[in-house]
Amino acid sequence: MLSIFCSCSKQIQPKVISGDKLIIVNADDLCMNDETSNAIIDAYRNGIVTSTSAFVTFAEPVSALRRIHSENPDLPIGIHLNITEGKSLLPASEIPSLVDKNGNFFSPDQIMSKLPDIKIEDVRKELNAQVKLFLSSEVPLDHINCHHHITALYTPFHIVMREICLQYNVPMRNPVPYSIYKKMNVNKGSGGASAAKEMIVYGLLHPFKSFPMMKVMGPAAFIEQEKINNEAGIKMPDWFIDSFFENASVSDLNSIIMQLPNGISEIMCHPGRAGEVKVLSDPDVKKTLEKSQVRLVKFDTI
């Protein structure tokens, strides 16, 4: 997925974990809009989704969070931190390196060339503002992750995620995409997120500019962040399964389930996208979970 940013040619091997196969199926993008939120609730009530993560940077997130939580009190809701889509919570004057003059975040294709110039303090201010807004809803904060996985893919930003987890004692998404190990085969390619794709394109178009970034972007850097998180006592799933992204078919999801490694895996899904709710609710997927002896769990299992 991210081989252009890997400074080593040797195949990276995954850690060895014994025990059962457990899976968190987390739906991203809650509170993006009503249609997306309704699709996520559908996949939770009728499918295999076990938790969700919510934006707070779109319209009226606090009232939406309160309503969804009151109607679905057993649905764990985390925060889907965002610095790559829409407008920031804070004014542009407070976080000038993170947004344009109108307060718009840089999209994944725009942010690549700007990463070295974005100040960590601006990221820290904005992400903490987002967490505080989430907490103002009084909905329990279950976990954290980041839109487009950008705070993991560009590891200098990951320190802010670590700070938030430690401050609020919540789990986070594992920063290492399982696709880097090349141990899981699906029908439609690697399943990389859009930010990762933009990294590859940027590396191809600007090799001399991207070369200095290799130390902080790529498999070795991701694994180093995972190690630091573990040493800090931050709770994470053992694996982040990114291969369902853009692979929304029953056959591919069944294939992913049958190839899961031992330990706790998190599968990222987006029920707001066409076709995913149907796949996540398909009876055949539930049968595959049973046959493969994979148990659905939540972040509180970690």
Q: How far apart are CA 192 and CA 179, in angstroms?
A: 8
Flag the least confident range among 4-13, 103-112, 145-154, 182-191. 4-13
Instruction: Please tell me the predicted confidence (pLDDT) of residue 16.
Output: 82
Contact assessment for residue 34 and residue 63, using Cβ atoms and an 8 Å cutoff: no
Tell me the CATH number at 53. 3.20.20.370
Mean pLDDT of 160-178: 97
Instruction: Please tell me the predicted confidence (pLDDT) of residue 274.
Output: 80
Q: How far apart are CA 288 and CA 258, in angstroms?
A: 7
Q: What is the pLDDT of residues 212-267, one digit of tens each?
A: 566 777 788 899 999 999 999 999 999 999 888 776 899 999 999 999 999 999 99
DSSP assignments along 14-51, one per residue: PPP--S-EEEEEEEEEETS-HHHHHHHHHHHHHSS--E
Q: How far apart are CA 203 and CA 286, in angstroms?
A: 40
Angle between helices 158-168 and 219-231 (to 10 degrees): 20
Instruction: Please tell me the predicted confidence (pLDDT) of residue 113.
Output: 83
Q: What is the pLDDT of residues 96-146, one digit of tens each?
A: 999 999 999 999 888 888 988 999 999 999 999 999 999 999 999 999 999
Q: How many domains in the chain?
A: 1
pTM: 0.90
Q: How far apart are CA 265 and CA 301, in angstroms?
A: 11
Mean pLDDT of 197-212: 52
Residues spanned by the domain of 178:
3-8+17-301
